[in-house]
Structure 1
């Protein structure tokens, strides 16, 4: 029987994120009544087994009423009798290691690979059920069936001393306290303090603090909650979308499904209305989780089979006739008969050699004034098709962002750089040297806002890591100000944003979230004048996204909805049924151009493609459309409410491949263009 389960426990084959294997850690009671600890990769489980694992994770007491048997213990990546486990080495999350790990040390002297608990991705965390780090939960569940002592020599090591009585009933609703589970080392007195936890250890006659509370207060870094706030704060700002949540509790409890699950409602939930409401929420969350399972399987299968289909089959391709008010009509033009262009996002990156070849004439001679000889569209196409080599990015970006005119000479470009630098330092000095301005309410407010935003932007990157020369350590600053420390790069970013605020104040000025758009640009140039002008020109096209009346984003979302309706009518109808056709699920994607969905390097590659305006200056909408297309079937099969759609879409970040998204976006553009032109020709 499957007694306990925790999803999204990874084994790392290497430090590359692509080499992380996701699986379940579980406690199993075998046919011989022995208890086993096992880890199973998700890929080895059937869909039925996955559902059982998730169900047990969400409510372990279900195992007594449901036959959650395992197919075969030999199919697990490992399955060890708990009696063969000598100790557990537990490393909880900390400021330097976001995910905590557990290592099993075996009685034969071997150690198994570390298991990393990605709690934020697990089913119980997404549903708000999990209150503690997964490694500490595992420790408590093991303590039901075996005596555990914390090692005297290593506070992170827990030694297993022998099994308890068999036929133990495990239930989340009746978890014993640590006094009945964790045995304290006999040579530690009741006044001693465990080094890592800082908790008082009681003598044999006393009661120890709850093991989870003890572990979390000691093993968990005390600043973890503050770091979580830093990590997710900006995402929350971008997700402030007013929603109307439908109360389906009363109707749900009267349905056949509601009557089946009613006996499992915890008494602590109170009356029928609150209990049923809680159940509705849990079932909706479970649908999201199962949708993610399905998406992972489908996309993985597409990669294995090489079937990178750029969009699901739509009504234009499924039927040879369409029904209308006047009867059936034959479809004479489909996407398959249109001979759409093939995507060009398969070319190598633009290297220095290829770039400088654009300055040569057909005879191979370099232009005397070092002007660009090639047509600008040729350059844009090259960037669109393959991106830019890292060393060439600072130069080519100046053309894409229109710092340099496409026909400028080398002498003119040097003059532009000099003039831009002089103007920037003058703009900065205007506010820096104005004491009256610096005392104004506007400056104080903007300075505080910019500082908070900058100090929370991309802090995991070495470029933006804290420098002790600028205000001490993160720990000291968090304790004193609630914000991490600063660095030379971050201070420059503050000055750039403040300068931009007064440079652009007549139009808009600084708005929260712009720091997210500045960080990638700064990472490429790392000097104030060039970064400022590149950012200012970037903001010319992004300004509508930050208008205080939200009119710019409303236009983006309305256009997005139209594209979905054209490209995939079935998906659009499903979104209408879910009350999600307003496309708020794409809000964060479009607001900051997928800054939170891709890794930092991929963001640079994406933005330079979007800056080319090669097919359209709104290509970002087609990137979003391509991602929705890839997940359309899963969304239609599993999601039923606007909250589920929003949650599912916003959690796609780690699963999106940039090149697949760009190729898919290109195909979506050709498909939508074909359909629109077909309709226009008929009209």
Structure 2
């Protein structure tokens, strides 16, 4: 039995012994502060209604105990409504599992390696959709047979060399198949310091979820960085479908960052907002960065794309994420996601009814200052980056003589940041920015 007091989170996310240079997790499980399994269970009524307000403040004070992290995240990300019962949630869970199984089977029909317990890292089709006749592709797709046929559940086989399913002529199918090897390459690189990913079945689960997501979200498909966002879900939620839906909800917040056009990448809008914030709260630093040619703030690209996964240890990045989501929590999240078509109408009604106590602190500030009326309220992640820059402002101004120096100074923060302090700093800057922006 894990003790609640002072236990390091590393004991839950075991690092391979040969990876000695991996930053240690600073997050400690603290009795009375960390949301424990006992406190979590006590937050529900006998019917299953959740007191979300109390839960949010406890998460911000001390994070979530790793043993219950997955199920708490499902609420924080809007998978479930706190005002629902146990029975209602179970029905939703079963419906979603069936939906995921249907999508996965659809993908398996197009490419039978999906769901086989394996994954591929070599391209399988050309830009025109023609199968690539490469020994590595054949071996990865079917390592045991030494030939190009892949058995399917119904006893038939799909010949990778000659199969020219009519769907292959569909641009969407071709586009999807073109991403599969890139997903495999990224899966091979994601969190490989963790013992968890020594198991092939866990790697293939990550590949399957990302492949299915790329098929379902045809606007975004798959982009590098998504594997970093999905990986924790696989570790925290045992059922693959539950992990998929948790990742899908997270992507609803972040997919705008991954959307690309011929002219721009979605995250550029957030980088532009970061520049505006820095200009308001630290004009000298902004001016210095502009002089160095860094006015586009591209050096902060990675922090925003994968939410600080590279700057923190694995355990601390999870702690940071749950604090961010608790601070940003909006009780209308579930209804906005579930009823996207009538979201405007629904959320207008519920805005009057929702208690400010059920909102996260960051969300409350936005409500108080009218920032929610803006077309798109700024996420807390931008203020987190701004807070990191502010903390290193004097160092950046005195030591950075070029963009390489800026990148080096920011790279030095890896493993040295404190997640709680970063969130506190972000909240202070947010308050300051809203006041100055109002003026």
TM-score (norm 1): 0.43
* Larger proportion of strand: 1
8 Å contact from structure 2 (residues 229, 306) kept in 1: yes
Displacement after TM superposition at 1:552 (Å) = 2.1
CA contact 2:303–2:385 (8 Å) conserved in 1: yes
CA–CA separation in structure 2 for the residues paired with 1:665 and 1:443: 38
Counterpart among 83, 107, 113 of residue 407 in structure 1: 83
Which residue in 2 is equivalent to 1:500? 213
Q: Are 1:454 and 1:515, in contact at CA under 8 Å, matched by a contact in 2? A: yes
Match of residue 193 from structure 2: 460
- 2:382 equivalent in structure 1: 621
Equivalent residues in 2 for 1:453-532, closer than 5 Å: 453-465=186-198, 467=199, 487-505=200-218, 507-532=219-244
Shift of 1:668: 1.8
Larger Rg: 1
CA deviation profile, 1:84-133 (whole Å, cap 9, x unmatched): xxxxxxxxxxx97467xxxxxxxxxxxxxxxxxx8x9xxxxxxxxxxxxx
Residues 585 and 650 in structure 1, CA contact (< 8 A), matched pair in contact too:
no
- Structure-2 residue corresponding to 1:351: 36
Alignment of 1:656 onto 2:368? no
Query: Which residue of structure 1 lines up, in the alignment, with residue 322 of structure 2?
Result: 608
Which residue is 1:642 aligned to? 403
Query: Which residue of 552, 575, 580 maps to 2:266?
Result: 552
More helix by share: 2
| Alpha-carbon distance between aligned partners in 1 of 2:174 and 2:426, rounded to the nearest angstrom | 45
Report the Cα offset of residue 377 of structure 1.
4.0
Kindly indicate whether residue 180 of structure 2 is the aligned counterpart of residue 447 of structure 1: yes
1:135-173 alpha-carbon deviations (Å, 9 max, x no partner): xxxxxxxxxxxxxxxxxxxxxxxxxxxxxxxxxxxxxxx
Quote how far apart the aligned CAs of 1:383 are.
2.2
Q: Which residue of structure 2 lines up, in the alignment, with residue 676 of structure 1? A: 437
Aligned counterparts of 1:658 and 1:96: Cα–Cα separation in 2 = 25
Q: Tell me how far apart the structure 2 counterparts of residues 393 and 425 of structure 1 sit (CA, whole Å).
A: 24
RMSD: 2.5
CA contact (8 A) 2:70 2:233 kept: no
User: Is 1:573 equivalent to 2:321 in the alignment?
Assistant: no
Matched residue SS, 1:405: coil
Deviation at 1:672, TM superposition (A): 2.1
Cα displacement (A) at 1:408: 0.7
Aligned to 2:63: 387
In structure 2, what is the Cα distance between the partners aligned to 1:417 and 1:446?
Answer: 29
Please report how far the alpha carbon of residue 513 of structure 1 lies from its aligned counterpart in structure 2 after TM superposition.
2.1
Q: How does 1:99-118 map to 2 (within 5 A)?
A: none
Q: In the alignment, which residue of structure 1 is the partner of 2:155?
A: none
**CA separation in 2, counterparts of 1:566 and 1:644?**
23
Larger deviation, residues 640-649 vs 430-439 = 430-439
| Cα shift at 1:609 | 1.8
State the alpha-carbon separation in 2 of the partners of residues 538 and 637 from structure 1: 38
Distance 1:368 1:595 in 2: 37
2:312 matches 1:598? yes
Q: Write the distance in 2 (CA, Å) between the matches of 1:496 and 1:608.
A: 22
Say yes or no: does 1:588 pair with 2:302.
yes
**Compared with structure 1, are the counterparts of its residues 98 and 522 closer, same or farther at alpha carbon in structure 2 (3 Å cutoff)?**
closer
Are 1:584 and 1:646, in contact at CA under 8 Å, matched by a contact in 2? no
Give, in whole Å, the separation in 2 of the partners of 1:464 and 1:383.
27
Structure 2's unaligned 5+ residue stretches are 1-7, 9-15, 23-31, 111-157, 159-164, 329-359, 364-377
CA–CA separation in structure 1 for the residues paired with 2:220 and 2:301: 20
Contact 2:293–2:403 under 8 Å retained in 1: yes
Partners of 2:427 and 2:34 in 1: CA distance: 17
Within a 5 Å distance, the mapping from 1:65-464 to structure 2 comes to 97=18, 348-359=33-44, 367-372=45-50, 374=51, 376-434=52-110, 436=165, 441-464=174-197
Q: Which has the higher contact order (CA 8 A, sep 6+)?
A: 2
Give the conservation status (yes or no) of the 8 Å contact 2:35–2:55: no
Q: Where does 1:7-86 land on structure 2 (aligned, <5 Å)?
A: none
Q: For 2:201 and 2:268, how far apart are their aligned partners in 1?
A: 37
438 and 519 in structure 1: CA distance in 2 versus 1, 3 angstrom threshold: farther
Aligned length, in residue pairs: 311
Separation in structure 1 between the aligned mates of residue 207 and residue 182 of structure 2, nearest angstrom: 10
- Kept in 2: contact 1:489–1:526 (CA 8 A): no
- Equivalent pair of 1:399/1:405 in contact (CA under 8 Å): yes
Question: Is the contact between residue 402 and residue 537 of structure 1 (CA under 8 Å) also seen in structure 2?
Answer: yes
* In structure 1, C-alpha distance between the alignment counterparts of 2:283 and 2:54, rounded to whole Å: 35
Residues 443/663 of structure 1: CA separation in 2 closer, same or farther (3 Å cut)? closer
Structure 1 residues 570, 443: CA separation in 2 closer, same or farther (over 3 Å shift)? closer
